[in-house]
Structures are given as structure tokens and as C-alpha cells.
Amino acid sequence: MLNTRIDKEIHELPAGFSTRPATIADAQIVTDLLNAETLAIVGKTKFSYEECLQEWGEPGFDVESSSLMVFAPDGRLAGYIEIWDNEPIPSTIHLFGATHPDFYNNGVGTHMLQWAFNTAQRALDKVPQTWQVSAIGVALDQHPPSCALLENSGMKLTRAFWRMVIDLEQTIPEPSFPDGVEIVTFDQLGDVRAVYRAYDESFQDHWGYVAQPEEDGLAQFKHRLNDPSFDPTLWFMAKEGDEIAAVSLCSPKSDENPEIGHVGTLGVRRPWRKNGLGLALLRYTFREFQARGRFKQVALGVDAGSLTGATRLYERAGMYVEHSNNVYEIILREGIDPATRNLEASE
């Protein structure tokens, strides 16, 4: 049935707990909460105040209307959640949040998710009426309580994404590029629209991809350049003539660790696939991080069921799986799924 919608009755919080939206002034306590949970789960912190402000500043995102903070009776921040429906056509809404370990099993997570499901209904009018609208959340596979929270709230496991790493204390083979291909960095190229177009085209075959109007997508893409850690010499473009064939868009830190480089995007446009360009560009990227001396590893995230076989490419390049993130989804309105789910659908 088309255009059915889900509404959740809000689970009551324990006596004395209170809620309010977040504001920019709350960036530090939200960061502290996120780090408290990751420290308890994986033994390290992963977030920074600067990263929080950078993300909240993304075009179209309004933290006060898109977030909920839950406070314990003693005034401590017990939980936080935000919804990301800032794309022009938000057919897939992303949920992100955390509960402080001291307040597990208090109904805080359930309350926040139900608030998020209901608040996300506002996106329905921005999406064509015949389209499906869904919300997705992510939980570490190694943390069963988080997975159970999402499942018990009605979300279904639909995908897994891996964090893969490579240790740089080894010899990285010299890349072998196809004839006619050269590497330039963003500081040499400077054409952000051309890079965005190559990036967007290369991800048309990515699970969950939904095309967005170019100007809106470009505005969100440009926001990356405002990141305090942005380094234009770590954005690598493989060019053949005037065409950008592939991109490797990197950051000088991963999970706020300055000794781990991060490949945010590795994408090869369709006409240049299956000729070794992806492997060559990846090896080139690793060697560039290695040459800088301070990096011990390079990490990236990848769809474990990649439609283009990206996991096999990364394994060939010497990467291995560090951990897995489970992706859960709930359908907010039934309809035609506009997202890429297989290669045939993306043609």
C-alpha cells in the first residue's frame, strides 16, 4: 500500500528526566557524551568539539529543530539524538545519537528514537508522494545493546558497513596507472564543481544513492572545504585529458587520531572502471600518507556488500576489517524506493 505512514507513541522517561533541543552552545557537552559512549564500547574517543560545530553548520541543517537532549535529574546529559533530513529530497533520513553508559536501560534511547521517528515525518512533504521514505540508524556490531535498541524500536537490519584499515609500516607497491592518466591535487586543480560532479557520478552505483539537484548537492559538498582539518593536498584527482576519471578525497585524521589518515571518498567513474585505476589511486594515496611520516595507518568506510566490489579492491590493496557497523532501517512511508539497491537500478 502506498503512502502509509508510521507514528510512534512516545515512551515516557523516568521521573525527573527532562528534554530540550540542542543549541550551538551545547556542542561541547554533546561531544563529551558521544565520547563517553565510544570510550565505553571501543576503548577510545572519536569525536571533537570542532567536528561537532562543522557538522552542525552543514547547509540545510538546523540543530535546534533537528535534535533532542535528555537530561537526568542531577542535570547531566543522559542522551542526545539528531535527525538529518537536510537534503532537498530527503527520502532517506539519517538518525545519529548516543546514550551515556550511566543511563543505559532507563528508556532514554527508546524515547529519543520515538521522538526522531515522529519528528522525521516533517520530511514527507518534501519527497514525491509516490516515493518511499525511510529512516536509518547505525550501531556497532560489537555492541549488542545498541543493536537491540534499534531492533526493538521497529528498525530492521538491512546492511553492514565495514571500517577497513591498512598498516603503513610495510612496503606499499608502486601504483601502475593506465596510460594517459595523471594525478593532481585540489590545490592544483581548484575546480570544486568538476570534483563534485566526478564524486557524484562515481557514487551512482553506491547502495542507497539518491540523485539530488546539482546546486544543492554542490553546496553541501563545498561545506567540506570549511572543515578545520581540510587539506587540499590530500584530495587526489586522477585525470585523463580534461576529464576527472577518479577521486580520492582524504583527511589528515580519522576518529580524531592524527596518526590515522582517512580516505573519505574513493570513487571511479564508470568509463574508467575495470582497468586498474581504482587500485592504482588507492596505492598512490597510501604512499602519500606514508611519505608524510607521521601516519601509522589509513582507514576508510565501505559497504560490506558493495555493488561495485569495493571490498575486494581494498583487500587486494592490503586493507583488513577493523570493525563492522550495522545499518538499521524503518519505513516511515511506503512507496516506490528511489534509492540504488542494485546495479541494474542505477543504470
Per-domain residue ranges for the chain? Answer: 18-154, 164-324
pLDDT of residue 347: 52
Asked whether the domain spanning 164-324 has the same topology as the one spanning 18-154, the reply is: yes
pLDDT of residue 254: 84
Residue type at 64 in one-letter notation:
E
pLDDT of residue 10: 78
Burial of 15 (0-12, 13-18, 19+ CB in 10 A): exposed
State the number of CA atoms in the 13 A half-sphere of 290 facing the CB: 15
pLDDT of residue 7: 63
∠ CA 184-212-235, rounded to 5°: 15
pLDDT of residue 107: 96
CATH T-level topology, domain 164-324: Aminopeptidase (3.40.630)
| Residue ranges, the chain, pLDDT below 50 | 1-4
Helix pair angle (27-42, 49-56), 10° resolution = 120
Rounded to a whole number of angstroms, the CA Rg of the chain reads 21
Backbone angles phi, psi at 164, to 5 degrees: -115, 145
Residue keyed to cell 596505492: 283
pLDDT of residue 26: 99
pLDDT of residue 6: 60
Can you say whether the dihedral through the CA atoms of 117, 123, 124, 129 is positive or negative? negative
pLDDT of residue 212: 94
d(CA 307, CA 52): 31
Domain 18-154 has CATH 3.40.190.10: no
CB 33 within 8 A of CB 77: yes
